[in-house]
Amino acid sequence: MQVLRDALLGWWQEHGRHSIPWKLRRDGALLCPDEQLDPYAIWVAEVMLQQTQLQVVLPYWQRWMEAFPSLAALAAAEEHDVLLLWQGLGYYSRARRLLAGARQMQALSPSAWPQDLESWLALPGIGRSTAGSILSSAFNRPFAILDGNVKRVLARLIACERPPARELKHFWALSEALLDPARPRDFNQALMDLGATVCTPRNPRCEQCPWQFQCAAYAAGDPAAFPVTDAPRELPFQVIGVGVVRNAAGQVLIDQRLNEGLLGGLWEFPGGKQEPGEPIETTIARELQEELAIEAEVGEELITLEHAYSHKRLRFVVHLCRWISGEPQPLASQQVRWVEPTELGDYPFPAANARIIAALLERLQAEGSAAAA
């Protein structure tokens, strides 16, 4: 174990990612082993890094820290503002849980950050690996991690013949045994950096790996064959009819999703699933009646787009609609609202809706130019 630790830390000292902003002192100086980093900044980053790569997270984290620079600032924030700042990162339940966790932490421990695993696991959206990463990064406490990069590195190190998800107990034990108790902050970061930059999912750069000659997958001759994965399952496919409903004043109708699921709390254009054999225009008219209690004339198609989530694939068929009658009611949502098209950017929408908004604004601009001519 000590040979592996020394080799990894020696490699990391020269080749690691040392410019991650939440892992640095504010003055840029080197950290002492017993020095504490900002737990809040690290917590925000670790939640953002769940399901999202570092380079994508960096600008979001910078904007977040400017808007909510402290635990107190986040705890006092409105959910609308939090979701708007998160827009584009996906998995929006992370943002809602981060807000709830900040309020919980502010109420329970406003003056001292906990340094035990149980306190962090009690927060919404914090699992064992995220908690371990926060504690080791912020406080240099000896807690192991097991994120996607680490699972891949360990699966190759021992050439595990089963998917890591089926051997979690064994992988946790291995991660804990490898952890350098004298330098847990550096070791965990080195392990993540190794997976992110050298032991990559495809085309691993084994010639640059400090563990090359201890790696069972390398000895077997095919490191990329690990980690072993289960056969991929086919994702279900659905067609969604969407109505961009405008009233006589030119305003657009949007509704806010319930606070549940991946997209909870976000705004969207109303619509729903197409039934077998149902024309898409009928789908849209039916969904507007069932979800909002309004009658609308379904007009021409605005845009069709496809979007893949982790659990399903969707095709959105979007039509312009003219509101006829009925006061919009949130029968399947939190609230509904008529807004000016130019105000749509003030509301947090799922990523797929960005193209719908762009197509709508382009259409309105063309209509305005035609009218002026």
pLDDT tens sequence across 293-316: 999 999 999 999 999 887 889 999
Whether residue 185 sits in one domain with residue 51 = yes
Catalytic residue among 14, 35, 46, 340: 46
* Confidence bin at 54 (pLDDT 50/70/90): very high
Whether residue 221 sits in one domain with residue 249 = no
Residue 31 has pLDDT above 80, yes or no: no
Contacts 24+ apart (CB under 8 A), 360-369: 360/244, 360/252, 360/302, 363/302, 363/320
Q: Which of 88-92, 186-190, 286-290 has the lowest mean pLDDT?
A: 88-92
Q: Kindly report the backbone phi and psi dihedral angles of residue 120, in degrees, each rounded to the nearest multiple of 5, phi listed first.
A: -75, -35
Q: Do residues 210 and 7 touch, judged by C-beta distance below 8 A?
A: yes
Averaged pLDDT, 178-202: 96
Residue 220 has pLDDT above 80, yes or no: yes
Q: Do residues 270 and 288 touch, judged by C-beta distance below 8 A?
A: yes
Residue 372 has pLDDT above 80, yes or no: no
Whether residue 255 sits in one domain with residue 200 = no
Whether residue 265 sits in one domain with residue 157 = no
- Res 260: pLDDT: 84
pLDDT tens sequence across 57-74: 999 999 999 999 999 999
Q: Kindly report the backbone phi and psi dihedral angles of residue 47, in degrees, each rounded to the nearest multiple of 5, phi listed first.
A: -70, -40
d(CA 65, CA 71): 10
Question: Nearest-5° angle of CA 321, CA 322, CA 327?
Answer: 110
Mean pLDDT of the chain: 93
Whether residue 123 sits in one domain with residue 12 = yes
Residue 30 has pLDDT above 70, yes or no: no
Give the domain-ending residue among 225, 260, 282: 225
Residue 139 has pLDDT above 90, yes or no: yes
Whether residue 136 sits in one domain with residue 97 = yes
d(CA 371, CA 250): 14
Q: Do residues 241 and 287 touch, judged by C-beta distance below 8 A?
A: yes
Whether residue 263 sits in one domain with residue 144 = no
Whether residue 117 sits in one domain with residue 253 = no
Specify the CATH number for the domain of residue 362: 3.90.79.10
Whether residue 202 sits in one domain with residue 291 = no
Q: Is 301 a catalytic residue?
A: no
Asked if the structure places residue 358 within a domain, the reply is yes
What's the whole-model pTM score? 0.85
Give the domain-ending residue among 225, 258, 279: 225
Whether residue 324 sits in one domain with residue 190 = no
Specify the CATH number for the domain of residue 79: 1.10.340.30
d(CA 272, CA 262): 16
Asked if the structure places residue 230 within a domain, the reply is no
**Nearest Cα to Cα of residue 264 among 124, 128, 130:** 124
Asked if the structure places residue 15 within a domain, the reply is yes
Is residue 305 helix, strand or coil? strand
Residue 34 has pLDDT above 80, yes or no: no
Domains identified in the chain, total number:
2
Whether residue 56 sits in one domain with residue 17 = yes
Please give the residue range of the domain that contains residue 141.
2-225
